[in-house]
Amino acid sequence: MTNMRPPNKTTLLKVVILGDGGVGKSCLMNRFVSNRYDENNFHTIGVEFMNKDIDVDGEKYTLQIWDTAGQERFRALRTPFYRGSDVCLLCYAIDDYDSFRGLKQWRQEFVNYADVKPDKFPFIVVGNKNDMAHHCRQVPFDEVKQWCDQNTINSQIETSSKTATNVTDAFVLAVRQWKHMERIAEIELKQNDTIDLTKTIKLAHNRFCCTGGGSTASTSASGFQASDSDDESMNISSPRRVGKKQQKGQSLTQFQL
């Protein structure tokens, strides 16, 4: 018996694109979904989403891509859509160092509102506008790689929505990173659910069972105290009283073992 996915089944993944306004998030989504590029594209208000079917490594996926507004005034509109996300693309523009510096805040905002563990979630860092002339570049690729390593992000790529360079590759990379994280999660889940039968099972101390004879047992601070009949069956000598019958107001002070 196998757990392989049926060949005709499509996996739905929710992908969120985050980044400062003007880095090209909407252009990236439009180029990937409909292969269109509009240089005069307006800023997104709130959120927009599009669907795109894609085949990755022989498996079918439907990507539900959410493009979010980058301006601070739209925070209340975009953050409710973070929950339930499977992948997050953190976008900056290679000719805008401030947009790269802002990735830290975007990542933290997503972690807080999506309620995910940052080191166990697939983030993809995307540097857009790599069609720019070399002298326009403000963000070195090596510096981005160093930042990704410090934040346990394994995937980064540079794209151009204008020339369609690496646009599809960015989303393929996102799917592969999601699959990688899913495998890790499955392995950890199996390890946590496995019972090691070779280990000795330790039973709780001071456990006892009372049977028959109408005997009673009472728990004390030092363990338990059994009745006379229980003491005899357990081969334990009980203290016996000698002397006169205890009078009212007196305490019993003499025992014989």
Domains defined along the chain, listed by start: 11-190 (3.40.50.300)
Enter the pTM of the model. 0.70
Mean pLDDT by 10 residues, the chain (257 residues): 60 95 91 86 70 95 88 70 94 96 94 92 96 94 95 95 96 96 87 62 50 46 44 45 45 43
Number of helices and strands (H, E) in the chain?
7, 10
Going by the DSSP 8-state scheme, the letter that residue 41 receives in this structure is P
Distance CA 137, CA 164 (A): 18
Two tokens at 253?
């002070």
Residue 126: other Cβ atoms inside 10 A: 29
Q: What's the pLDDT score for residue 7?
A: 58
Q: What's the pLDDT score for residue 190?
A: 82
Q: What's the pLDDT score for residue 34?
A: 93
Distance CA 229, CA 217 (A): 11
Distance CA 25, CA 66 (A): 10
Query: Which amino acid, 252?
Result: L
Query: Which amino acid, 75?
Result: R
Q: What's the pLDDT score for residue 238?
A: 45
